[in-house]
Structure formats: C-alpha cells, structure tokens
C-alpha cells in the first residue's frame, strides 16, 4: 500500500492576520519559516510583495533559505461566485499559474467560494464550479495543478459536508482539493468521513487545530487528531507529501514566528 514520505511546510496567512501591524516583507517570511524548521512554504498573493513580477528572484531567495514553494494561494473579491467576474478571475488565475510554473511541483491553491451577493445558492455553486474547472484547464496547459481550498470564514459557500458535496459534484476530476483540518472541524464535519469522500482529490493538506467550540488553538491543543489525519491522507493516490501548517490562534496574532515554530516542535513530538 502506498505511503508517501511527509514534508512539512508553512502557510503565510498567519502573518497576514496582523493586517496593518505587519511591517515586514516576503524575505522576513522566508527567514522565519526556515528558522522555524520548515522545508516548504505556501505564500499568498497578498504576501508575495516585490516578488509578484519577479519569479526568478523568488526562486533564488527560496534556494538561499533552503525552502521549496509548495503552493501559491490566491482568492478573489468576487468570491468566485459572480458570473460577471469570471473573465477577470481567469486572468488572475493565468497570472499566478504562470508564476507557479517557475517552481517545479508547485501548485496553485484557489480560495474558498464565498457569498458576496444575493441570489440562490445553487447558482453560486455553479459559478464557483465554472471558475475552478476553467482554472484547472489553465493550469493543465501550463503543467500546474490547481486545487480548491474551502474555508469556514465569514460568508463561505463551503462550510458543511453538504456544501462540499454540492461543489465537488460539479467539479472535473482533475480539480484538486486542499483539505484544511481546522475548517473541516469548524464546519461540523466528521474528519475521517470527509477525507474519505474526496480521497482522490487530495493534493496536500492544510493542518491547523480548533477546540470543540470552533475557536482556533495551537496545534495539538484542540480537537484535531493529527496522527489520524496524517495516516489517512498519506495513502491518497495524488497526495504529494506536503503537510502545510497554518496557525490562526490568538497566540499567532501576538507572535506569528513563535507560533509556527512551536507548531513545528509539536509535530516533532508527535513523531512527524
């Protein structure tokens, strides 16, 4: 039976949470993540900074830091649910697919479909599916895998298992999925059941923790059974081995670098 070797990366949204209080840049993120013990990074469109139009320079900076680009993540103010914005969203997809194509093995992760207008939810699922399916085709042409990252944040269209079922039924098989343990739990879902239901779509994993009330916690302090998640996903046929840690707890808001460093240490204590 397949058992993929694990690699541990870090997502930069943890710093994005600081908002205007964050005065650093992408090189500061690379330094903090490398010093935290991680071997990879997932960076977002809002955190890429000066490297947005300089992928070759980012290749060099990643190499200097000893990091691999796991994925480039982006969202849209359209929530990927406005039909009149599909063309603009596809142009954005092309931009970031072209960026990611400079990094062997890097994926593009598209943010959660979100309700930003009135109208039937069924129509919004259809628009989101069109966005994700067309983005997959753009990525396929460039040799870049495109995956969907559902969230449990405000106005998300993808909170419950029923929401996942509704969207994934409309997606082409080649569209990947980035399961996020924290968002799955906050949506009231059963982890093992949801992972098994969309097993063939799993490309990599976002790992974070919440308590029973849905409040973000440091890794290992909440309801997420991390070893069980790892055991399940590493058998998935298209899982690439990357476990990307993301931290949204109060502690992260106070000191992101310390929080992600502590999470890496927690994973080591779990034997990962």
Q: How many CB atoms lie within 10 A of CB 95?
A: 15
Rounding to the nearest 10 degrees, give the CA dihedral for residues 59, 61, 64, 66: -70
Provide the token pair at 162.
Answer: 């029923």
Architecture of domain 7-269 in this structure: Alpha-Beta Barrel (3.20)
For residue 9, the model assigns a pLDDT of: 98
Whether 28 shows a pLDDT value over 90: the answer reads yes
Q: By percentage, how much of the chain surpasses pLDDT 90?
A: 97
- If pLDDT is split at 50, 70 and 90, which confidence band does 4 have? confident
At 78-95, the pLDDT tens digits run 999 999 999 999 999 999
Mean pLDDT, range 17-39, rounded to an integer: 96
Burial class (CB in 10 A: 0-12, 13-18, 19+), 248: buried
Mean pLDDT of the chain: 97
Q: Is-contact 244 43, C-beta < 8 A?
A: no
List of residues 6+ apart from 55 with CB closer than 8 A = 99, 102, 103
In the chain, what are the domain boundaries? 7-269
Provide the token pair at 43.
Answer: 């960076």
For residue 2, the model assigns a pLDDT of: 59
Whether 240 shows a pLDDT value over 80: the answer reads yes
Whether 1 shows a pLDDT value over 60: the answer reads no
For residue 3, the model assigns a pLDDT of: 65
> What is the C-alpha separation between 238 and 153, in angstroms, rounded?
27
At 181-213, the pLDDT tens digits run 999 999 999 999 999 999 999 999 999 999 999
For residue 211, the model assigns a pLDDT of: 97
- Bridge partner residues of 71 (DSSP): 42, 107
For residue 261, the model assigns a pLDDT of: 97
For residue 44, the model assigns a pLDDT of: 98
Whether 105 shows a pLDDT value over 80: the answer reads yes
For residue 141, the model assigns a pLDDT of: 98
Q: Is-contact 171 140, C-beta < 8 A?
A: no
Sequence-ordered alpha helix ranges (H) in the chain: 13-16, 26-35, 55-65, 86-100, 121-142, 161-168, 181-186, 191-197, 226-233, 250-254, 256-269
At 131-179, the pLDDT tens digits run 999 999 999 999 999 999 999 999 999 999 999 999 999 999 999 999 9
What letter does residue 223 receive in the DSSP assignment?
A: S
């Amino acid at each position: 039976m397949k058992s993929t070797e694990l690699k541990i990366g870090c997502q930069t949204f943890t710093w994005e949470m600081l908002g205007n209080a964050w005065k650093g840049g992408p090189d500061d993120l690379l330094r903090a993540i490398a010093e935290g013990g991680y071997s990879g990074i997932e960076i977002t469109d809002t955190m890429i900074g000066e490297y947005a139009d300089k992928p070759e320079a980012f290749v060099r900076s990643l190499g200097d830091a000893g990091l691999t680009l796991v994925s480039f993540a982006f969202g849209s103010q359209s929530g990927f649910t406005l039909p009149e914005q599909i063309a603009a969203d596809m142009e954005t997809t092309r931009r970031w697919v072209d960026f990611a194509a400079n990094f062997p093995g890097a994926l593009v992760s598209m943010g959660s479909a979100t309700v930003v207008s009135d109208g039937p939810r069924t129509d919004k699922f259809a628009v989101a599916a069109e966005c994700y399916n067309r983005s997959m085709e753009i990525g396929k042409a460039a040799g870049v895998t495109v995956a969907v990252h559902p969230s449990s944040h405000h106005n998300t269209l993808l909170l419950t298992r029923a929401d996942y079922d509704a969207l994934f039924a409309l997606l082409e098989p080649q569209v990947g999925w980035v399961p996020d343990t924290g968002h799955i739990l906050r949506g009231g879902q059963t982890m093992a059941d949801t992972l098994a239901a969309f097993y063939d779509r799993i490309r990599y994993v976002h790992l974070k923790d919440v308590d029973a009330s849905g409040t973000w916690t440091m890794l290992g302090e909440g309801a997420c059974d991390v070893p069980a998640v790892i055991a399940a996903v590493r058998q998935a046929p298209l899982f690439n081995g990357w476990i990307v840690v993301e931290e949204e707890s109060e502690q992260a808001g106070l000191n992101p670098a310390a929080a992600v460093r502590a999470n890496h240490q927690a994973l080591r204590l779990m034997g990962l």
